[in-house]
A and B are shown apart, each in its own frame.
Chain A
Amino acid sequence: MRRKNINYSKEHSRFLARNRRKKFFVLSMQICILVVILGLWEILSYFNVINTLIFSSPSRILNTIGSLYSSGELFYHIGITLYETLLGFAISTALGLLIAILLWWSETLRKILDPYIVVLNSLPKIALGPIVIIWFGAGMQSIVVICVLITIIITIISMLNAFRSCEQDKILLMKSMGANKFQILLKLILPASVPQFISVLKISIGMSWVGSIMGEYLISSAGLGYLIVYGSQIFRLDLVMASTLILCILASIMYLIVSFIEKLVNKKRS
Protein backbone atom coordinates (compact mmCIF):
# COMPACT_ATOMS: atom_id res chain seq x y z
CA MET A 1 0.00 0.00 0.00
CA ARG A 2 1.38 3.38 -0.93
CA ARG A 3 0.31 6.40 1.02
CA LYS A 4 1.29 9.94 0.22
CA ASN A 5 1.44 12.85 2.66
CA ILE A 6 2.88 10.82 5.49
CA ASN A 7 5.90 12.13 7.31
CA TYR A 8 8.38 9.33 7.38
CA SER A 9 11.51 9.47 9.44
CA LYS A 10 14.69 10.52 7.66
CA GLU A 11 16.03 7.00 7.63
CA HIS A 12 12.85 5.63 6.18
CA SER A 13 12.79 8.27 3.44
CA ARG A 14 16.37 7.37 2.63
CA PHE A 15 15.45 3.69 2.59
CA LEU A 16 12.59 4.41 0.19
CA ALA A 17 14.83 6.49 -2.05
CA ARG A 18 17.41 3.73 -2.15
CA ASN A 19 14.69 1.26 -2.99
CA ARG A 20 13.40 3.47 -5.79
CA ARG A 21 16.90 3.87 -7.18
CA LYS A 22 17.42 0.13 -7.18
CA LYS A 23 14.13 -0.46 -9.00
CA PHE A 24 15.01 2.19 -11.54
CA PHE A 25 18.43 0.60 -12.06
CA VAL A 26 16.93 -2.85 -12.68
CA LEU A 27 14.41 -1.47 -15.15
CA SER A 28 16.99 0.58 -17.03
CA MET A 29 19.32 -2.41 -17.25
CA GLN A 30 16.49 -4.50 -18.65
CA ILE A 31 15.81 -1.89 -21.31
CA CYS A 32 19.53 -1.50 -21.95
CA ILE A 33 20.00 -5.19 -22.69
CA LEU A 34 17.14 -5.10 -25.17
CA VAL A 35 18.43 -1.97 -26.89
CA VAL A 36 21.98 -3.31 -27.11
CA ILE A 37 20.92 -6.63 -28.57
CA LEU A 38 18.56 -5.06 -31.08
CA GLY A 39 21.07 -2.34 -31.96
CA LEU A 40 23.91 -4.80 -32.45
CA TRP A 41 21.69 -7.04 -34.49
CA GLU A 42 20.62 -4.15 -36.70
CA ILE A 43 24.15 -2.76 -37.16
CA LEU A 44 25.72 -6.15 -37.91
CA SER A 45 23.09 -6.93 -40.49
CA TYR A 46 23.29 -3.41 -41.96
CA PHE A 47 27.00 -3.85 -42.64
CA ASN A 48 26.39 -7.40 -43.86
CA VAL A 49 28.48 -8.95 -41.08
CA ILE A 50 25.64 -11.41 -40.56
CA ASN A 51 23.48 -12.83 -43.30
CA THR A 52 20.04 -11.22 -43.15
CA LEU A 53 18.58 -14.11 -45.10
CA ILE A 54 19.28 -16.36 -42.14
CA PHE A 55 19.26 -13.93 -39.22
CA SER A 56 16.83 -11.29 -40.48
CA SER A 57 17.09 -7.94 -38.71
CA PRO A 58 14.94 -5.76 -36.44
CA SER A 59 14.07 -3.33 -39.21
CA ARG A 60 13.14 -6.12 -41.60
CA ILE A 61 10.97 -7.70 -38.91
CA LEU A 62 9.17 -4.39 -38.38
CA ASN A 63 8.76 -3.95 -42.13
CA THR A 64 7.27 -7.41 -42.41
CA ILE A 65 4.82 -6.66 -39.63
CA GLY A 66 3.98 -3.41 -41.40
CA SER A 67 3.26 -5.09 -44.71
CA LEU A 68 1.26 -7.82 -43.01
CA TYR A 69 -0.76 -5.06 -41.44
CA SER A 70 -1.36 -3.13 -44.64
CA SER A 71 -2.42 -6.25 -46.53
CA GLY A 72 -4.91 -6.96 -43.76
CA GLU A 73 -3.31 -10.33 -43.00
CA LEU A 74 -1.89 -9.37 -39.61
CA PHE A 75 -5.12 -9.29 -37.66
CA TYR A 76 -6.55 -12.17 -39.64
CA HIS A 77 -3.77 -14.50 -38.48
CA ILE A 78 -3.64 -13.06 -34.98
CA GLY A 79 -7.41 -13.44 -34.75
CA ILE A 80 -7.35 -17.08 -35.74
CA THR A 81 -4.60 -18.09 -33.33
CA LEU A 82 -6.12 -16.00 -30.54
CA TYR A 83 -9.51 -17.59 -31.17
CA GLU A 84 -8.11 -21.13 -31.07
CA THR A 85 -6.06 -20.42 -27.97
CA LEU A 86 -8.83 -18.75 -26.02
CA LEU A 87 -11.40 -21.34 -27.02
CA GLY A 88 -9.06 -24.19 -26.08
CA PHE A 89 -8.23 -22.39 -22.83
CA ALA A 90 -11.88 -21.78 -21.96
CA ILE A 91 -12.98 -25.32 -22.78
CA SER A 92 -10.14 -26.99 -20.91
CA THR A 93 -10.57 -24.74 -17.88
CA ALA A 94 -14.33 -25.25 -17.66
CA LEU A 95 -14.23 -28.95 -18.47
CA GLY A 96 -11.15 -29.54 -16.31
CA LEU A 97 -12.77 -27.81 -13.36
CA LEU A 98 -15.95 -29.81 -13.82
CA ILE A 99 -14.04 -33.10 -13.98
CA ALA A 100 -11.99 -32.14 -10.93
CA ILE A 101 -15.22 -31.42 -9.03
CA LEU A 102 -16.67 -34.79 -10.04
CA LEU A 103 -13.49 -36.56 -8.96
CA TRP A 104 -13.58 -34.72 -5.64
CA TRP A 105 -17.22 -35.54 -5.18
CA SER A 106 -16.85 -39.27 -5.72
CA GLU A 107 -13.93 -40.99 -4.11
CA THR A 108 -14.78 -44.15 -6.04
CA LEU A 109 -14.78 -42.40 -9.40
CA ARG A 110 -11.41 -40.90 -8.55
CA LYS A 111 -9.97 -44.28 -7.71
CA ILE A 112 -11.39 -45.84 -10.88
CA LEU A 113 -10.03 -43.10 -13.16
CA ASP A 114 -6.71 -42.67 -11.37
CA PRO A 115 -4.58 -44.90 -13.68
CA TYR A 116 -6.07 -43.28 -16.79
CA ILE A 117 -5.22 -39.84 -15.54
CA VAL A 118 -1.68 -40.91 -14.72
CA VAL A 119 -1.20 -42.32 -18.24
CA LEU A 120 -2.76 -39.31 -19.90
CA ASN A 121 -0.59 -37.02 -17.83
CA SER A 122 2.67 -38.72 -18.75
CA LEU A 123 1.78 -39.11 -22.43
CA PRO A 124 3.19 -36.41 -24.72
CA LYS A 125 -0.20 -35.22 -25.96
CA ILE A 126 1.15 -34.07 -29.31
CA ALA A 127 1.59 -37.74 -30.21
CA LEU A 128 -2.19 -37.88 -30.43
CA GLY A 129 -2.16 -35.15 -33.12
CA PRO A 130 -2.52 -37.43 -36.16
CA ILE A 131 -5.37 -39.35 -34.53
CA VAL A 132 -7.12 -36.12 -33.63
CA ILE A 133 -6.79 -34.87 -37.21
CA ILE A 134 -8.29 -38.06 -38.58
CA TRP A 135 -11.17 -37.89 -36.13
CA PHE A 136 -11.91 -34.18 -36.22
CA GLY A 137 -10.72 -33.22 -39.69
CA ALA A 138 -7.87 -31.01 -40.81
CA GLY A 139 -9.33 -27.78 -39.53
CA MET A 140 -9.66 -25.48 -36.62
CA GLN A 141 -11.64 -28.09 -34.68
CA SER A 142 -8.64 -30.37 -34.44
CA ILE A 143 -6.41 -27.53 -33.31
CA VAL A 144 -8.80 -26.67 -30.50
CA VAL A 145 -9.00 -30.34 -29.51
CA ILE A 146 -5.20 -30.62 -29.39
CA CYS A 147 -5.13 -27.43 -27.34
CA VAL A 148 -7.65 -28.89 -24.88
CA LEU A 149 -5.78 -32.20 -24.68
CA ILE A 150 -2.55 -30.46 -23.79
CA THR A 151 -4.11 -28.11 -21.26
CA ILE A 152 -6.87 -30.02 -19.49
CA ILE A 153 -4.86 -32.61 -17.58
CA ILE A 154 -2.89 -30.06 -15.62
CA THR A 155 -6.13 -28.28 -14.71
CA ILE A 156 -7.74 -31.51 -13.51
CA ILE A 157 -4.76 -32.66 -11.49
CA SER A 158 -3.96 -29.32 -9.88
CA MET A 159 -7.54 -28.48 -9.02
CA LEU A 160 -8.23 -31.93 -7.60
CA ASN A 161 -5.12 -31.50 -5.47
CA ALA A 162 -6.33 -28.11 -4.31
CA PHE A 163 -9.77 -29.46 -3.42
CA ARG A 164 -8.33 -32.37 -1.51
CA SER A 165 -5.88 -30.26 0.44
CA CYS A 166 -8.69 -28.29 2.09
CA GLU A 167 -8.32 -28.55 5.85
CA GLN A 168 -10.30 -31.37 7.39
CA ASP A 169 -11.33 -29.25 10.37
CA LYS A 170 -12.94 -26.68 8.08
CA ILE A 171 -15.02 -29.44 6.53
CA LEU A 172 -15.88 -30.71 10.00
CA LEU A 173 -16.93 -27.19 10.96
CA MET A 174 -19.28 -26.99 7.98
CA LYS A 175 -20.67 -30.44 8.76
CA SER A 176 -21.26 -29.55 12.38
CA MET A 177 -23.37 -26.63 11.13
CA GLY A 178 -25.41 -29.11 9.13
CA ALA A 179 -23.94 -28.38 5.68
CA ASN A 180 -24.53 -30.92 2.93
CA LYS A 181 -21.88 -31.88 0.40
CA PHE A 182 -23.08 -29.36 -2.16
CA GLN A 183 -22.85 -26.54 0.38
CA ILE A 184 -19.39 -27.68 1.42
CA LEU A 185 -18.34 -27.53 -2.23
CA LEU A 186 -19.90 -24.15 -2.90
CA LYS A 187 -19.08 -22.31 0.30
CA LEU A 188 -15.77 -23.90 1.24
CA ILE A 189 -13.95 -26.03 -1.32
CA LEU A 190 -14.36 -23.76 -4.34
CA PRO A 191 -13.63 -20.40 -2.71
CA ALA A 192 -10.75 -21.90 -0.74
CA SER A 193 -9.19 -23.09 -4.01
CA VAL A 194 -9.31 -19.75 -5.82
CA PRO A 195 -5.59 -18.98 -5.36
CA GLN A 196 -4.62 -22.38 -6.77
CA PHE A 197 -7.14 -21.88 -9.56
CA ILE A 198 -5.41 -18.71 -10.60
CA SER A 199 -1.98 -20.27 -10.60
CA VAL A 200 -3.44 -23.02 -12.76
CA LEU A 201 -4.79 -20.38 -15.13
CA LYS A 202 -1.31 -18.95 -15.43
CA ILE A 203 0.06 -22.34 -16.44
CA SER A 204 -2.81 -23.39 -18.66
CA ILE A 205 -2.87 -20.17 -20.66
CA GLY A 206 0.74 -20.91 -21.57
CA MET A 207 -0.16 -24.52 -22.36
CA SER A 208 -2.99 -23.33 -24.60
CA TRP A 209 -0.51 -21.31 -26.67
CA VAL A 210 1.61 -24.43 -27.01
CA GLY A 211 -1.49 -26.37 -28.07
CA SER A 212 -2.69 -23.94 -30.70
CA ILE A 213 0.74 -23.33 -32.22
CA MET A 214 1.53 -27.06 -32.28
CA GLY A 215 -1.85 -27.66 -33.84
CA GLU A 216 -1.16 -25.08 -36.50
CA TYR A 217 2.22 -26.66 -37.20
CA LEU A 218 0.44 -29.93 -37.89
CA ILE A 219 -2.54 -28.69 -39.83
CA SER A 220 -1.37 -25.34 -41.24
CA SER A 221 -4.03 -23.26 -42.89
CA ALA A 222 -3.86 -19.94 -41.08
CA GLY A 223 -2.68 -18.39 -37.86
CA LEU A 224 0.65 -17.38 -36.37
CA GLY A 225 1.86 -20.98 -36.14
CA TYR A 226 1.02 -21.38 -39.80
CA LEU A 227 2.98 -18.21 -40.67
CA ILE A 228 6.00 -19.56 -38.80
CA VAL A 229 5.91 -22.91 -40.61
CA TYR A 230 5.14 -21.31 -43.95
CA GLY A 231 7.88 -18.71 -43.50
CA SER A 232 10.45 -21.38 -42.74
CA GLN A 233 9.38 -23.47 -45.72
CA ILE A 234 9.89 -20.61 -48.19
CA PHE A 235 12.96 -19.52 -46.23
CA ARG A 236 11.59 -16.11 -45.28
CA LEU A 237 13.09 -15.67 -41.84
CA ASP A 238 11.58 -12.17 -41.61
CA LEU A 239 8.16 -13.71 -41.55
CA VAL A 240 9.16 -16.37 -39.01
CA MET A 241 10.70 -13.80 -36.68
CA ALA A 242 7.84 -11.35 -37.07
CA SER A 243 5.26 -14.00 -36.21
CA THR A 244 7.32 -15.19 -33.25
CA LEU A 245 7.61 -11.62 -31.97
CA ILE A 246 3.85 -11.09 -32.19
CA LEU A 247 3.32 -14.38 -30.41
CA CYS A 248 5.66 -13.25 -27.61
CA ILE A 249 3.76 -10.02 -27.18
CA LEU A 250 0.34 -11.70 -27.16
CA ALA A 251 1.40 -14.39 -24.70
CA SER A 252 2.89 -11.77 -22.38
CA ILE A 253 -0.26 -9.65 -22.47
CA MET A 254 -2.36 -12.68 -21.61
CA TYR A 255 -0.03 -13.60 -18.76
CA LEU A 256 -0.17 -10.06 -17.42
CA ILE A 257 -3.95 -10.12 -17.42
CA VAL A 258 -3.99 -13.29 -15.34
CA SER A 259 -1.33 -11.88 -13.00
CA PHE A 260 -3.43 -8.78 -12.55
CA ILE A 261 -6.44 -10.88 -11.58
CA GLU A 262 -4.21 -12.78 -9.17
CA LYS A 263 -3.18 -9.55 -7.49
CA LEU A 264 -6.78 -8.48 -7.09
CA VAL A 265 -7.68 -11.77 -5.43
CA ASN A 266 -4.64 -11.87 -3.16
CA LYS A 267 -5.34 -8.38 -1.92
CA LYS A 268 -8.32 -9.71 -0.01
CA ARG A 269 -6.54 -12.71 1.46
CA SER A 270 -3.47 -12.87 3.56
Chain B
Amino acid sequence: MEHLLNIDNVSLIYHTLTDETLAIESISMYADENEFISVVGPSGCGKTTLLSLISGVITPSSGKITLRGQPISEAKNKTGYMFQRDHLFEWRTVWQNIKLGPEIVGDKSPETTKYLDGLLSKYGLQDFKHKYPKHLSGGMRQRVALIRTLALRPELLLLDEPFGALDYQTKKVVIQDVNDIISREQKTSILVTHDIGEAASLSDRIIVLSHRPSVVKKVFTSKLRSIPLIEERKKTREYQELIDEIWKELI
Protein backbone atom coordinates (compact mmCIF):
# COMPACT_ATOMS: atom_id res chain seq x y z
CA MET B 1 0.00 0.00 0.00
CA GLU B 2 1.16 3.52 -0.75
CA HIS B 3 1.92 5.63 2.32
CA LEU B 4 0.39 9.07 2.83
CA LEU B 5 3.82 10.58 3.42
CA ASN B 6 7.05 9.16 2.14
CA ILE B 7 10.47 10.47 3.06
CA ASP B 8 13.15 8.83 1.02
CA ASN B 9 16.83 9.25 1.87
CA VAL B 10 16.49 12.94 2.63
CA SER B 11 19.46 14.99 3.73
CA LEU B 12 19.87 18.67 4.40
CA ILE B 13 22.88 20.94 4.61
CA TYR B 14 22.62 24.45 6.03
CA HIS B 15 25.01 26.91 4.43
CA THR B 16 26.20 29.90 6.40
CA LEU B 17 29.18 32.18 5.80
CA THR B 18 31.32 30.54 8.44
CA ASP B 19 30.20 26.99 8.15
CA GLU B 20 28.14 24.36 6.51
CA THR B 21 26.08 22.20 8.80
CA LEU B 22 24.92 18.77 7.83
CA ALA B 23 21.70 18.85 9.83
CA ILE B 24 20.10 15.72 8.45
CA GLU B 25 22.25 12.96 7.09
CA SER B 26 19.86 10.55 5.49
CA ILE B 27 16.39 10.04 6.83
CA SER B 28 13.83 7.64 5.48
CA MET B 29 10.46 7.35 7.11
CA TYR B 30 6.77 7.27 6.27
CA ALA B 31 3.41 8.11 7.73
CA ASP B 32 0.11 6.39 7.06
CA GLU B 33 -3.36 7.83 7.07
CA ASN B 34 -4.61 8.66 10.59
CA GLU B 35 -1.33 7.79 12.19
CA PHE B 36 0.10 9.77 15.07
CA ILE B 37 3.88 9.76 14.91
CA SER B 38 6.28 11.24 17.41
CA VAL B 39 9.82 12.18 16.62
CA VAL B 40 12.21 12.35 19.57
CA GLY B 41 15.91 13.02 19.59
CA PRO B 42 18.65 14.98 21.30
CA SER B 43 18.55 18.77 21.30
CA GLY B 44 19.70 20.29 18.02
CA CYS B 45 19.58 17.01 16.12
CA GLY B 46 17.43 18.41 13.35
CA LYS B 47 13.82 17.76 14.40
CA THR B 48 12.58 21.22 13.48
CA THR B 49 14.52 20.98 10.25
CA LEU B 50 12.74 17.73 9.45
CA LEU B 51 9.32 19.35 9.93
CA SER B 52 10.33 22.34 7.80
CA LEU B 53 11.33 19.92 5.07
CA ILE B 54 8.01 18.09 5.28
CA SER B 55 6.08 21.37 5.18
CA GLY B 56 7.97 22.34 2.03
CA VAL B 57 9.24 25.61 3.48
CA ILE B 58 12.78 24.41 2.79
CA THR B 59 13.87 21.97 0.10
CA PRO B 60 16.08 18.96 0.80
CA SER B 61 19.68 18.95 -0.39
CA SER B 62 19.07 15.46 -1.66
CA GLY B 63 16.36 12.83 -1.45
CA LYS B 64 12.63 12.96 -2.04
CA ILE B 65 9.53 13.77 0.00
CA THR B 66 6.14 12.89 -1.38
CA LEU B 67 2.60 13.29 -0.10
CA ARG B 68 0.14 10.90 -1.75
CA GLY B 69 2.78 10.25 -4.37
CA GLN B 70 3.03 13.94 -5.22
CA PRO B 71 6.31 15.83 -4.60
CA ILE B 72 5.86 17.99 -1.49
CA SER B 73 6.84 21.15 -3.35
CA GLU B 74 3.71 20.76 -5.49
CA ALA B 75 1.42 19.85 -2.61
CA LYS B 76 0.50 23.34 -1.45
CA ASN B 77 -1.38 23.68 1.84
CA LYS B 78 -1.49 19.97 2.43
CA THR B 79 0.44 20.37 5.66
CA GLY B 80 -0.46 22.45 8.73
CA TYR B 81 2.07 23.72 11.21
CA MET B 82 1.78 24.21 14.95
CA PHE B 83 4.56 25.69 17.05
CA GLN B 84 5.78 25.77 20.62
CA ARG B 85 4.12 29.14 21.10
CA ASP B 86 0.63 29.56 19.77
CA HIS B 87 1.59 32.60 17.66
CA LEU B 88 -1.94 33.92 17.61
CA PHE B 89 -2.07 37.38 16.09
CA GLU B 90 -2.91 39.70 18.98
CA TRP B 91 -4.60 42.23 16.70
CA ARG B 92 -7.08 39.72 15.37
CA THR B 93 -10.08 38.22 17.12
CA VAL B 94 -10.32 34.46 17.56
CA TRP B 95 -12.49 34.28 14.48
CA GLN B 96 -10.14 36.43 12.40
CA ASN B 97 -7.22 34.33 13.60
CA ILE B 98 -8.71 31.04 12.47
CA LYS B 99 -9.73 32.63 9.16
CA LEU B 100 -6.09 33.51 8.43
CA GLY B 101 -5.40 30.46 6.27
CA PRO B 102 -8.59 30.70 4.17
CA GLU B 103 -7.91 34.42 3.77
CA ILE B 104 -4.43 33.73 2.41
CA VAL B 105 -5.60 31.21 -0.15
CA GLY B 106 -8.68 33.27 -0.99
CA ASP B 107 -11.20 30.72 0.26
CA LYS B 108 -14.46 32.54 0.98
CA SER B 109 -16.70 29.49 0.70
CA PRO B 110 -19.62 29.12 3.11
CA GLU B 111 -18.52 25.50 3.74
CA THR B 112 -15.27 26.69 5.29
CA THR B 113 -17.10 29.22 7.43
CA LYS B 114 -19.48 26.51 8.57
CA TYR B 115 -16.65 24.06 9.22
CA LEU B 116 -14.79 26.58 11.38
CA ASP B 117 -17.91 27.62 13.21
CA GLY B 118 -18.55 23.94 13.89
CA LEU B 119 -15.03 23.46 15.26
CA LEU B 120 -15.40 26.48 17.55
CA SER B 121 -18.60 25.15 19.07
CA LYS B 122 -17.34 21.61 19.26
CA TYR B 123 -14.29 22.66 21.22
CA GLY B 124 -15.92 25.19 23.54
CA LEU B 125 -14.79 28.40 21.95
CA GLN B 126 -18.02 29.73 20.48
CA ASP B 127 -18.42 32.32 23.25
CA PHE B 128 -14.94 33.65 22.53
CA LYS B 129 -15.38 33.94 18.80
CA HIS B 130 -15.11 37.73 18.78
CA LYS B 131 -12.68 38.09 21.68
CA TYR B 132 -9.04 38.96 21.29
CA PRO B 133 -6.34 36.40 22.21
CA LYS B 134 -5.38 38.29 25.35
CA HIS B 135 -8.74 37.30 26.86
CA LEU B 136 -8.03 33.57 26.45
CA SER B 137 -6.34 31.14 28.80
CA GLY B 138 -3.20 29.30 27.70
CA GLY B 139 -5.17 26.16 26.97
CA MET B 140 -7.77 27.99 24.91
CA ARG B 141 -5.11 29.79 22.93
CA GLN B 142 -3.52 26.47 21.98
CA ARG B 143 -6.93 25.13 20.91
CA VAL B 144 -7.50 28.20 18.75
CA ALA B 145 -4.05 27.70 17.25
CA LEU B 146 -4.95 24.10 16.39
CA ILE B 147 -8.24 25.12 14.80
CA ARG B 148 -6.41 27.78 12.81
CA THR B 149 -4.11 25.03 11.56
CA LEU B 150 -7.10 22.85 10.67
CA ALA B 151 -8.80 25.66 8.74
CA LEU B 152 -7.04 24.80 5.49
CA ARG B 153 -7.98 21.15 6.00
CA PRO B 154 -4.41 19.88 5.82
CA GLU B 155 -3.77 16.20 5.28
CA LEU B 156 -0.84 16.23 7.63
CA LEU B 157 -0.33 18.11 10.89
CA LEU B 158 3.19 19.06 11.92
CA LEU B 159 3.49 19.80 15.63
CA ASP B 160 6.77 21.29 16.79
CA GLU B 161 6.80 20.95 20.59
CA PRO B 162 3.34 22.50 20.85
CA PHE B 163 3.16 21.82 24.59
CA GLY B 164 6.66 22.99 25.47
CA ALA B 165 5.73 26.44 26.72
CA LEU B 166 2.76 25.45 28.90
CA ASP B 167 2.71 25.05 32.66
CA TYR B 168 2.09 21.60 34.10
CA GLN B 169 -1.64 21.90 34.77
CA THR B 170 -2.51 23.55 31.46
CA LYS B 171 -0.32 21.10 29.63
CA LYS B 172 -2.29 18.08 30.85
CA VAL B 173 -5.55 19.57 29.62
CA VAL B 174 -4.14 20.81 26.32
CA ILE B 175 -2.52 17.48 25.49
CA GLN B 176 -5.82 15.69 26.06
CA ASP B 177 -7.64 18.34 23.98
CA VAL B 178 -5.21 18.15 21.10
CA ASN B 179 -5.30 14.36 21.23
CA ASP B 180 -9.11 14.37 21.07
CA ILE B 181 -9.33 16.94 18.30
CA ILE B 182 -6.79 15.11 16.18
CA SER B 183 -8.53 11.75 16.70
CA ARG B 184 -11.99 13.11 16.00
CA GLU B 185 -10.97 15.09 12.96
CA GLN B 186 -8.93 12.09 11.82
CA LYS B 187 -5.74 13.96 11.05
CA THR B 188 -2.40 12.34 10.42
CA SER B 189 0.11 14.01 12.71
CA ILE B 190 3.81 14.21 13.28
CA LEU B 191 4.80 15.50 16.70
CA VAL B 192 8.29 16.66 17.56
CA THR B 193 9.03 16.64 21.27
CA HIS B 194 11.67 16.50 23.97
CA ASP B 195 9.29 14.78 26.30
CA ILE B 196 9.45 10.98 26.06
CA GLY B 197 6.28 10.68 28.12
CA GLU B 198 4.37 12.79 25.61
CA ALA B 199 5.71 10.75 22.73
CA ALA B 200 4.94 7.40 24.36
CA SER B 201 1.44 8.31 25.48
CA LEU B 202 0.21 10.00 22.30
CA SER B 203 1.61 8.03 19.40
CA ASP B 204 1.11 5.00 17.23
CA ARG B 205 4.78 5.09 16.36
CA ILE B 206 7.79 6.78 17.94
CA ILE B 207 10.80 7.56 15.82
CA VAL B 208 14.08 8.09 17.65
CA LEU B 209 16.66 10.20 15.87
CA SER B 210 20.40 10.11 16.50
CA HIS B 211 22.65 13.05 17.24
CA ARG B 212 23.25 15.50 14.40
CA PRO B 213 23.64 14.69 11.54
CA SER B 214 20.51 12.79 12.29
CA VAL B 215 19.44 9.44 11.00
CA VAL B 216 16.59 7.25 12.18
CA LYS B 217 18.00 5.26 15.06
CA LYS B 218 15.01 3.20 16.08
CA VAL B 219 11.24 3.02 15.63
CA PHE B 220 8.80 1.89 18.33
CA THR B 221 5.16 1.02 17.86
CA SER B 222 2.44 1.30 20.45
CA LYS B 223 -1.21 0.33 20.84
CA LEU B 224 -1.89 2.80 23.63
CA ARG B 225 -3.86 5.15 21.41
CA SER B 226 -6.91 2.90 21.68
CA ILE B 227 -7.29 4.04 25.30
CA PRO B 228 -9.14 7.37 25.25
CA LEU B 229 -7.77 9.01 28.38
CA ILE B 230 -4.08 9.88 28.39
CA GLU B 231 -3.87 9.55 32.17
CA GLU B 232 -5.12 5.97 31.80
CA ARG B 233 -2.57 5.27 29.07
CA LYS B 234 0.16 6.37 31.44
CA LYS B 235 -0.91 3.85 34.05
CA THR B 236 -0.33 0.82 31.82
CA ARG B 237 2.67 -1.50 31.91
CA GLU B 238 3.17 -1.06 28.18
CA TYR B 239 3.69 2.66 28.68
CA GLN B 240 6.35 2.12 31.33
CA GLU B 241 8.19 -0.39 29.18
CA LEU B 242 8.02 1.88 26.17
CA ILE B 243 9.46 4.78 28.15
CA ASP B 244 12.31 2.62 29.40
CA GLU B 245 13.18 1.45 25.93
CA ILE B 246 13.07 4.90 24.34
CA TRP B 247 15.16 6.21 27.20
CA LYS B 248 17.78 3.57 26.56
CA GLU B 249 17.98 4.64 22.91
CA LEU B 250 18.47 8.28 23.79
CA ILE B 251 21.39 7.92 26.17
Please list the residues of chain A having a beta carbon within 8 angstroms of any beta carbon in chain B: 167, 169-170, 172-179, 183, 187-188, 191-192, 194, 268-270
Contact = CB atoms under 8 A, between A and B. Distances in A.
Interface of B: 52, 55-57, 76-77, 79-81, 83-85, 87, 89-91, 100-101, 103-105, 132-134, 152, 158
Contacts, number: 55
B81 A172 contact: yes
Contacts of A191: 89, 91
B52 A172 contact: yes
A270 B136 CA distance: 11
B99 to A, nearest CB: 11
B101 A268 contact: no
Given A174-B104, A179-B104, A187-B100, A268 B81 contact: no
A182 to B, nearest CB: 11
B100 A177 contact: yes
A178 B77 contact: yes
B83 A173 contact: yes
A183 B104 CA distance: 7
A176 B103 contact: no
A178 B104 contact: yes
Contact of A177 (B84, B85, B133, B152): B152
B57 A175 contact: yes
Contacts of A177: 77, 100-101, 104-105, 152
Given A173-B83, A176-B55, A269-B134, 20 more contacts: A167-B87, A169-B87, A172-B52, A173-B81, A173-B87, A174-B100, A176-B81, A176-B158, A177-B77, A177-B100, A177-B101, A178-B105, A183-B104, A187-B100, A191-B89, A268-B91, A268-B132, A269-B132, A270-B90, A270-B134
Given A187-B100, A187-B103, A176 B90 contact: no
